Amino acid sequence: MTDKRAATQPQPPEGAMWGQLFRRSARPSLSLQGQIREMLVDAILSGILAPGESIPSSRELARHLGVARITVVLAYQQLAEEAFLLSRQRKGHFIHPDVLKGRTPGGAAASSPPGEGRRTDWSRRLWLLPSQQRSIVKEEDWQRYPYPFLYGQFDKELFPTAAWRECCLKALGVLDIRQWAPDQIARDDEMLIQQVQTKILPRRGVWASADELIITVGAQHALYMVADLLMREGTAVGIEEPGYPDARNIFSSRTSQVIPLPVDGQGLPVTPLLRQLDYLYVTPSHQCPTGVTMPLARREALLEMAEAHDIILIEDDYESESSFDGQPIPALKSLDRSNRVIYVGSLSKSLAPGLRVGYIVAAPELIRELRALRRLMIRHPATFVQRTLAMFISLGHYEAQQRRLAQAQKERHAALTAAMAEHAPGCRITPVRGGGSCWVQLPDNMPVQALAQRAAAHGVLIEPGDVFFARPGTPGSFMRMGYQSIPANDIGQGVKALADAIREEQPEK
């Protein structure tokens, strides 16, 4: 009986097997010590190493892995402190006998064999199918393409790594940890709120008290909460056409009365069509996706109509700081005298989209309910990120990053427009005053989805423009070309490769 049980136990790694385990868990982002720790933790939790089992001496494992012995010693010490290993004097290291205590034997898969029981029909339970909505699609491995003309992606050349690391370390100070580590329930980090009030909003001409401001997990989270509180079936919501697909999808999940409103070279026109609306979503600083800026006179006219017909304006100021001439027009919210503008902004788009930090400025009554709703969803955004970002702003890094980004975008925009004029003169670029992308009209009858596939084969990524329109099959072929994720020196060659794809895809006359 004992022999049979022993035969079913996993055999501990020997010799070359340690090298294979080490390579399997190798990650360049970890130190050698970290990789060894990760290898051992993975082997323990996956059952390769059993509780009570001995492991090689530090000298022996160092020889198997080709690393310094001190590296293994330090890894062993750390794992012993965390009760993964047990050190026995003169006998070596063993897997801690209680390391798996409290874990379900065999995992969930072992307790629920596949194929047993009646299959659940989820299709009749789902009242909403977000996966079926038309959304912007981007290649997951976009960074391996040499010419990614994608908007809103991370650019390692522009990310202030040293400054961000400095602020992370400052946020890990003992006193700061005591402030951000507890559950804040519905509150935000006070330091970040103060920095947004004093450093971010005034640049847009916006002033807000603490009870008029809430931090969100990006602008999309902000729009989702606003829609959740304010919209229901029958609510009339206006949205720009072409416009931001995620906003359209969020609003459409609450009401079927999402009304597309055509834009022109100055953004959304103020017409009698607006009078039928309860809410209007607008991107006046840089219209999404055309990038055009709404002039001051039109903003004032829009506010007048909104007040006259009791329309609430949802202003998405997603690229507020980016202006090629250094003179951004004040936000719509800065002109609001009746608290009918819900102002949505992003703090991470110009830094690193993966940080997912945004905010809403609105009437105190709305902010109070947004906080209560957010508590039901996520309680609050990660306060460590909030504190780090607050440090980043307070030390002047955010301001410096905005200047650096604006200059880079100006240079890249100039390079893109010059290259398009040279290599793709049949394409028309909508003039913009700032931002990280261009709206491009392709030659007539150009199949933009087919072009995107052909361009990808040339190493070029573009964003087909049809997703920005409410209905498929809109006349004209458009694409959005972002330049925030591609170095300026690569733009010329990238456009040349794109022009080759356009010629290959050009319909025969």
CB 18 within 8 A of CB 26: no
- The reply to whether CATH 1.20.120.10 applies to domain 14-95 is no
Whole-prediction pTM: 0.86
Identity of the residue numbered 391? M
Report the pLDDT value the prediction gives residue 324, as an integer from 0 to 100.
Answer: 77
Alpha carbon of 391 to those of 78, 364, 395, 506: distances in Å? 31, 26, 6, 52
Report the pLDDT value the prediction gives residue 240, as an integer from 0 to 100.
Answer: 97
264: DSSP letter: B
326: DSSP letter: S
58-65 helix and 69-81 helix, angle to the nearest 10 degrees: 120
Domain residue spans of the chain: 14-95, 136-152+400-505, 161-397
Report the pLDDT value the prediction gives residue 165, as an integer from 0 to 100.
Answer: 95
Alpha carbon of 508 to those of 444, 446, 448, 458: distances in Å? 12, 10, 15, 21
Query: Distance between CA 494 and CA 419 in Å, rounded?
Result: 9
3-state secondary structure of 94: strand
Which letter, b or e, does each residue of 218-255 get, where b requires 16 or more Cβ atoms within 10 Å of its Cβ? bbbbbbbbbbbebbeeebebbbbbbbbbbbbbbbbbbb
CB 357 within 8 A of CB 215: yes
CA 181 to chain centre: 23
CB 33 within 8 A of CB 25: no
Report the pLDDT value the prediction gives residue 11, as an integer from 0 to 100.
Answer: 57
CB 13 within 8 A of CB 46: no
Each of the 509 residues of the chain gets a pLDDT tens digit; together they read: 445 444 455 555 666 688 788 877 667 778 889 999 998 998 888 888 899 999 999 999 988 888 999 999 999 999 999 999 999 988 899 999 998 887 766 544 445 555 567 888 988 899 889 989 888 888 888 989 999 999 988 888 889 999 999 999 999 999 999 999 999 999 999 999 999 999 999 989 999 999 999 999 999 999 999 999 999 999 999 999 999 999 999 999 999 999 999 999 999 999 999 999 999 999 999 999 999 999 999 999 999 999 999 999 999 998 866 677 767 778 999 999 999 999 999 998 888 989 999 999 999 999 999 999 999 999 999 999 999 999 999 999 999 998 898 899 999 999 999 999 999 999 999 999 888 999 999 988 889 999 999 999 999 999 999 999 998 776 679 999 999 889 999 999 999 999 999 999 876 65
For residue 107, what is the enclosing H or E element?
helix 107-111
Query: Distance between CA 341 and CA 90 in Å, rounded?
Result: 72
Report the pLDDT value the prediction gives residue 196, as an integer from 0 to 100.
Answer: 96
Report the pLDDT value the prediction gives residue 116, as an integer from 0 to 100.
Answer: 66
3-state secondary structure of 451: helix
As to burial, measured by CB atoms within 10 angstroms (0-12 exposed, 13-18 middle, 19+ buried), residue 118 is exposed
Give which of 425, 405, 420, 455 is closest to 160, Cα–Cα. 405
- The label of the residue with tokens 């100055």 reads 266
For residue 78, what is the enclosing H or E element?
helix 69-81
Give which of 377, 74, 79 is closest to 222, Cα–Cα. 377
Q: Which fold has domain 161-397?
A: Aspartate Aminotransferase; domain 2 (3.40.640)
CB atoms within 10 A of CB 190: 15
Residues 136-152+400-505: name the CATH superfamily: Aspartate Aminotransferase, domain 1 (3.90.1150.10)
3-state secondary structure 145-171: CCEECCCCCCCCCCCCHHHHHHHHHHH
For the record, the structure tokens of 15 come out as 């010799």
For residue 384, what is the enclosing H or E element?
helix 383-394
Report the pLDDT value the prediction gives residue 6, as an integer from 0 to 100.
Answer: 46
Report the sign of the C-alpha dihedral through residues 299, 302, 304, 310, in that order: negative
